[in-house]
């Protein structure tokens, strides 16, 4: 009988390694998710996000290390560990000829619910995902966003305490993304623990209270959204001057209003400012008024990978 480790965490990973032949997809990943948290598992494509989620849901086994759901080892006792887990890993084929009622009824029977329980859960779930008016419509007539919401509804059918979602807004248009965002925010108010992977920095910042950054199979940061995304909130302005700046000119530049940090490379300078983008023209005006000879001036959107690399550098090889 598998011993339960009741540590108060909904999800826990301990030094998880996953290899596929010569490729090491995860390199000693460790993290803990508190009950009720909404955690974004953020990383570029190929970072190891889906591999982690498949390990958490027992679709893969770790090469080494352990994963626990509510203190129960997923690999040793998957049925018990995943009893209170709903997941969306790959959007399932939705059987377009069925209605949401028919689809959810089928899976309710798979979950061995009685008829009354199935009816109750279908009503509750469709209301939660805002598809109650489409209960008896053919799924083949649904938009991609509606199908995604229905897939999340299917994950909620068993009334789980933990929801694991892999790239829930992948492939959706802005309207669909907004609908999923609102759905996740509404679920978080019901004290459901949510662990979702994404490569979209903005979406994670709008739905999650904690963020884990995964880069090349290693965790490089894990903290509150406000703390960990501080670097991402800095605007970066690229300025080319007519001539390379002297030390005195660089010092003058650093002291100017709205400028927080500068990086100099010859006559090209990166200026960092955490205010609104609208301040760009003010910075340009100040530079010209101060006599700086500006050749070009442009706003640079900070690339997500830039942020990962920056965080990886700060962690000196990653947080184990």
Bridge partners, 212 (sequence order): 41, 222
23: pLDDT strictly greater than 90: yes
DSSP string, 88-135: ESSPPP--TTS-HHHHHHHHHHHTT--HHHHHHHHHHHHHHTT-GGGT
Bridge partners, 33 (sequence order): 11
Average pLDDT over residues 268-295: 79
Percent of the chain with pLDDT over 90: 57
Query: How far, rounded to the nearest angstrom, does the alpha carbon of residue 89 sit from its chain's CA centroid?
Result: 13
- How far is the C-alpha of 258 from the C-alpha of 280, rounded, in Å? 9
Q: Which helix (H) or strand (E) holds 188?
A: helix 174-188
Q: What is the pLDDT of residues 168-225, one digit of tens each?
A: 998 888 999 999 999 999 998 888 999 999 988 888 888 999 999 998 999 988 988 8
- How far is the C-alpha of 292 from the C-alpha of 187, rounded, in Å? 52
Nearest Cα to 245, choosing from 229, 230, 262? 262
If one looks up domain 235-301 in CATH, what number appears? Answer: 3.30.70.2470
pLDDT of 129: 95
Return the SS3 of 5.
coil
Return the SS3 of 213.
strand
Q: Are 221 and 204 a contacting pair, CB within 8 Å?
A: no
Q: What are the sequence ranges of the domains in the chain?
A: 9-223, 235-301
Query: How far, rounded to the nearest angstrom, does the alpha carbon of residue 224 sit from its chain's CA centroid?
Result: 13
Nearest Cα to 297, choosing from 288, 307, 309, 289? 288
Q: Are 121 and 157 a contacting pair, CB within 8 Å?
A: yes
Q: Which of 50-64, 106-120, 210-224, 227-241 has the lowest mean pLDDT?
A: 227-241
The class (CATH top level) of 9-223 is: alpha beta
pLDDT of 319: 35
Q: Which of 90-104, 247-261, 306-320 has the lowest mean pLDDT?
A: 306-320
Q: What is the pLDDT of residues 50-90, one digit of tens each?
A: 999 999 999 999 999 999 999 999 999 999 999 999 999 87
Residue 65 corresponds to which tokens in the numbers above? 């290390």
Average pLDDT over residues 250-261: 82
Higher pLDDT, 93 or 190: 190
DSSP string, 219-231: EEEEEEHHHHTTG
Average pLDDT over residues 297-301: 75
Q: Are 232 and 300 a contacting pair, CB within 8 Å?
A: no
- Between 100-110 and 144-156, two packed helices, what is the crossing angle to 10 degrees? 30
Q: Report the largest interatomic distance among the alpha carbons of the chain, rounded to a whole angstrom.
A: 79
Average pLDDT over residues 149-162: 95
- How far is the C-alpha of 228 from the C-alpha of 205, rounded, in Å? 10
Compute the CA torsion angle 27, 204, 184, 102 (nearest 10 deg).
Answer: -60
Percent of the chain with pLDDT over 70: 87
320: pLDDT strictly greater than 50: no
DSSP string, 275-305: S-GGGHHHHHHHHHHTT--EEEEEEEPPPHH
Higher pLDDT, 35 or 266: 35
């Amino acid at each position: 009988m598998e011993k339960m480790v009741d540590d108060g965490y909904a999800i826990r990973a301990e030094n998880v390694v996953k290899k596929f032949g010569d490729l090491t997809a995860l390199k000693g990943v460790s993290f803990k998710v508190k009950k009720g948290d909404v955690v974004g598992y953020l990383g570029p494509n190929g970072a190891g996000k889906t591999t982690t989620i498949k390990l958490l849901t027992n679709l893969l086994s770790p090469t080494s290390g352990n994963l626990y759901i509510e203190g129960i080892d997923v690999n040793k006792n998957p049925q018990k560990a995943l009893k209170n887990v709903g997941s969306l890993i790959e959007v399932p084929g939705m059987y377009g000829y069925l209605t949401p009622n028919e689809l959810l009824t089928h899976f309710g029977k798979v979950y061995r619910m009685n008829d009354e329980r199935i009816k109750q859960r279908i009503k509750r779930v469709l209301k939660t995902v805002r598809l109650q008016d489409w209960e008896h419509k053919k799924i083949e007539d649904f938009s991609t966003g509606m199908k995604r919401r229905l897939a999340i509804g299917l994950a909620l059918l068993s009334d789980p305490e933990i929801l694991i979602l892999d790239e829930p807004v992948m492939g959706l248009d802005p309207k669909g993304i907004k609908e999923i965002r609102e759905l996740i925010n509404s679920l978080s108010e019901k004290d459901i623990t949510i662990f979702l992977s994404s490569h979209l920095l903005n979406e994670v910042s709008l739905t999650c209270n904690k963020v884990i950054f995964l880069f090349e199979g290693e965790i490089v940061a894990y903290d509150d959204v406000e703390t960990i995304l501080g670097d991402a909130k800095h605007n970066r302005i690229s300025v080319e001057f007519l001539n390379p700046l002297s030390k005195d000119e660089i010092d003058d530049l650093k002291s100017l209003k709205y400028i927080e940090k500068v990086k100099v490379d010859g006559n090209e300078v990166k200026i960092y400012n955490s205010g609104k983008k609208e301040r760009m023209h003010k910075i340009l005006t100040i530079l010209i008024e101060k006599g700086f000879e500006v050749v070009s001036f442009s706003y640079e959107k900070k690339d997500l990978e830039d942020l990962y690399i920056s965080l990886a550098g700060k962690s000196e090889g990653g947080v184990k």
